[in-house]
Amino acid sequence: MAHFYKWSIAQPPLVSTPELYYGTLAQLLGASGTTFPSSVLARDYNQKPEYTTNFSLGIEQQLPWHAAMRAYYVGALGRHLTWRRHLNPIALGANFSPLNQDPTSPGKPLPPAFLRPIPGYQDIFYYEGAASSNYHSLQVSAQRSVAPGLQFGAAWTWSKAMDYNEDPRANAGGATVSPFIRPRVWNYGPMSWDRTHVFKLYYVWQVPNPRRLAWHLDTVLRDWRLSGITTFQSGAPLGVGLSTTVATDFTGTPSQEARVLHVAGCALSKAERSFYRFFNTACVAMPPIGSFGNAAKALFRGPGRNNWDLAVFKDITLREPFKLQLRWELYNTFNHTQFSGVDATARFDPQARQVNARFGQLTATWPARRMQLGLRLNF
């Protein structure tokens, strides 16, 4: 409840009666320092507590060579999660109606306060426990941890995480479910952290010690170990944003955003992808005026990861109980370019032509190779 209290204290507790001389109602509504008409936050105080149910079912099997394997189905269901619903939205197409045109500004609609179904208020956001989420996964792992010389393990997760709006409590302007379209159609989709496949391999190798070397060479070449973590991971789910070169009202209301028209598949095969065209940029089009598009929450997957982190270290015994450890750590060892962002915002001109030259282009990367050399004294 603390987060809701934090927002609600910003609401005006008193009725304000501002006075404006020699002006218009439009100027009154736009004047600074007034609290009318106000926005209101409300909460369902009969809401059931939010909860998550976790469940799993799996098998474990001992394998030869001191190895073991596990395979589990792991799931989680979130229920009575909070979302934000609009109780005072402006009707679809209201800005287009001749009855709602501003007589003092031809070609423009009246200020939003005149078009609300509940006069005297702006936005009224109602927080209720009607959202849900679900996570389903197959998690397979194998490890060899007790054998001398080489220890390793591998884990693969195949999963899907879906919800309506992530966490609307993150800030007061959090996600709001559509007041006109069923949330299951408009808001439901993959979560931002959803990754279809995640494979990790970890290993520690005790490098064999050489035999019959001079003492100074033996000191240098003995007691080395190599360890590492290798990650292969699918990309994040991404949607396609909509923008225009000139201000365009697609839906006739500020209470409902518009999305692009989804006209073809956006995903490309690996052979078809390039730096300048990571996904099919012809898969979307500008929605017609008076519509809100048909694109889903996510249309394609962003770039995945292929990363190798390695560490080489050596223990040097000085005298009891002192031991010196030399470490050389490498992150993104092979300096492999790993892209992390793509320009997914389509920008249309008045002729409905897509004019964003960077649309579909890769735009960001994970850090390049980093190395760290350390010396640690243990005692």
Chain-centroid distance, C-alpha 286 = 24
Give a yes or no: residue 268 inside a domain. yes
Amino acid identity for residue 368 in this structure: A
Helix (H/G/I), strand (E/B), else coil: 94 = helix
Give a yes or no: residue 231 inside a domain. no
Please give the pLDDT value at position 319.
78
Please give the pLDDT value at position 120.
80
Give a yes or no: residue 288 inside a domain. yes
Tell me which residue of 116, 257, 254, 137 sits closest to 187, measured CA to CA: 257
Domain that holds residue 345: 239-379
Give a yes or no: residue 281 inside a domain. yes
Q: Give the tens place of pLDDT for each residue, 140-158.
A: 999 987 667 888 899 999 9
Please give the pLDDT value at position 121.
84
Q: Give the tens place of pLDDT for each residue, 78-88.
A: 999 888 899 99
Highest mean pLDDT among 202-216, 317-331, 361-375: 361-375
Give a yes or no: residue 249 inside a domain. yes
pLDDT band per the 50, 70, 90 thresholds, residue 194: very high
Least confident of 95-99, 186-190, 315-319: 315-319
Number of domains in the chain: 1
CB atoms within 10 A of CB 103: 6
Helix (H/G/I), strand (E/B), else coil: 184 = helix
Q: What are the structure tokens assigned to 121, written together?
A: 């208020």
Please give the pLDDT value at position 174.
42
pLDDT surpasses 70 at 31? no
Please give the pLDDT value at position 169.
43
Give a yes or no: residue 343 inside a domain. yes
Please give the pLDDT value at position 206.
87
Give a yes or no: residue 270 inside a domain. yes
**Where does the chain have alpha helices with state H?**
2-8, 25-30, 183-186, 215-221
Mean pLDDT, rounded, for 230-257: 95
Give a yes or no: residue 151 inside a domain. no
